Structure 1
Amino acid sequence: MAFSGSIQDLQRAEVVDSTGTKVGKVGQVYLTNDSQEPSWVTVNTGLFGTKETFIPLAEATFSGVVITVPYEKSFIKDAPHVDEDGEISAQQEEELYRYYGVADDRGTAATGRGTDRDGLGDRDRDAAPAGTAGTDVGTDRDRDLDRDRAGKDADGVTLHEEKVVVGTERQQTGKARLRKYVVTDIEQVEVPVQREEVVLEREPATGRDAGRVGEEEVEVTLSEERPVINKETVATENVSLGKRTVEDTETVRTEVAHEEVDVDGVQNARTDADRDGRDRI
């Protein structure tokens, strides 16, 4: 990476991958011992940023406060882990070179880092010589894995899969109305009543009566009680509409898709699953 700014500019930068996705903010900057040029940066990845991942700057571009690297975020997160101990050992640097497919054409390189993100350029740097190509490669298994990793960035594909995200939405299912209407019933009540009747009463007359013999009328008024119906309206009950929530469980089914890969034109292709038990090309 051709860089003409200050180390502080890099330390304030943000790293984005080849697709424009944010990888994270720069944590540390590493320099070469001979030219003091920036060679690596670290970003915090993993759950809650608990892992510091190294990214080479050889093919990166820097613009303003953004460092763009030619790798995808998932590829960067799978890079070999290097402890934050102040320097990169020769073996660790060689492993990182192999993983990213970056050629170490700088001869003997070294790395250094200050203890403060904002003051790296003004602090002393610990240095360690870079390893030479082929250090601790060891077995055929390691060499095969190195070649696979080196080709992932340039000639690889990213696999995707669909994951079911289930939620709920509220829909109107109906309306309820409260109305009242009149119902007529027949009510029967026993009411005690009184009436007058004519009773013929006789009793013997006493003494002499100077009356005359002839016709005579006597009139008696009779009366009786009759039921009288009156009605009054009284309140009997207050009724209103309310709502309550009832919890239930429904089972939903849907189709999800995922991507797989086939290798065409290559016989006896080996996958990572052949070497480390993971089902991955």
Structure 2
Amino acid sequence: MATEVELDRLRNATVRESSGARLGKVCEIFLNDRTQKISFVTIALGPFGMREVYIPYEYIDLDNEGPKTSLCREILEAAPRANGLGHLTFTQEEQLRAYYESAVVVDPHSTPKF
């Protein structure tokens, strides 16, 4: 189950690349219906936050400096956009995970946190 501390540290936080470069702000946090653990977050990319994308939570490292991801900006910019419905089906989650798994294989500089 997601802890309140974990959720508080994610809400409206700025997500950064491993290098420290700013990617965007966390918009939504998605919990797994069964386990109530965080499964995805969405972040608003770009200077005006016009493009919101999903990131599987296993690609987020939540340390003392805030959330970071080993995913590069190019992978996130090509990622499927968030649909704004506030819920992901199992099929949607699987499709998103498949995208990131294939994108990470293509980009050897990006390694997920497991």
Equivalent position to 2:105, from 151, 176, 182: 151
**C-alpha distance after superposition, 1:247-273 (max 9, x if no partner):** xxxxxxxxxxxxxxxxxxxxxxxxxxx
- SS of the equivalent of 2:84 reads coil
Q: TM-score, normalised by structure 1?
A: 0.35
Residues 15 and 68, structure 2, Cα contact 8 Å, conserved in 1:
yes
Q: Retained in 2: the 8 A contact 1:30–1:39? A: yes
The answer on whether the counterparts of 2:61 and 2:69 sit within 8 Å (CA) in structure 1 is yes
After superposition, the Cα gap between the structure-2 partners of 1:93 and 1:30, relative to the gap in structure 1 and judged at 3 Å, is: same
Structure showing greater radius of gyration is: 1
Equivalent residue runs for 1:120-135 within 5 Å: none
- Distance in 2, Cα, partners of 1:36 & 1:59: 18
Runs (4+) off by over 4 Å: none
C-alpha deviation, 1:93, in angstroms? 1.5
Q: Which runs of 5+ in 1 are unaligned?
A: 102-146, 158-281
State the distance in 1 between where 2:68 and 2:76 align.
12
1:47 deviates by 6.2
Q: Distance in 2 between matches of 1:5 and 1:45?
A: 24
Q: Which amino acid aligns with 2:9?
A: D
Pair 59,48 (structure 1): closer, same or farther in 2 beyond 3 Å: closer
Q: Partner residue of 1:53?
A: 53
Q: Secondary structure at the match of 1:87?
A: coil
| 1:71–1:150 distance in 2 versus 1, CA, 3 Å | closer
* Structure 1 position 75, deviation (Å): 1.3
- Look up the match of 1:43: 43
Counterpart position of 2:83: 83
Residues 4, 61 of structure 1: alpha-carbon distance in 2 compared, 3 angstrom cutoff: farther
The equivalent of 2:20 in structure 1 is 20
Greater per-residue helix proportion:
2
Separation in 2, partners of 1:27, 1:62: 16
Kept in 2, the 8 Å contact 1:80–1:95? The answer is: no
Identity over aligned pairs, percent: 28
Q: Is contact 1:61-1:67 (8 Å) kept? A: yes
Q: Secondary structure at the match of 1:96?
A: helix
Name the count of aligned residue pairs: 109
Report matched runs for 1:97-112 at 5 Å: 97-101=97-101
Higher percent of residues as strand: 2
**Alignment RMSD, CA only?**
2.5
Amino acid corresponding to residue 106 of structure 2 in structure 1: K
Letter paired with 1:38: I
Gaps of 5+ in 2: none
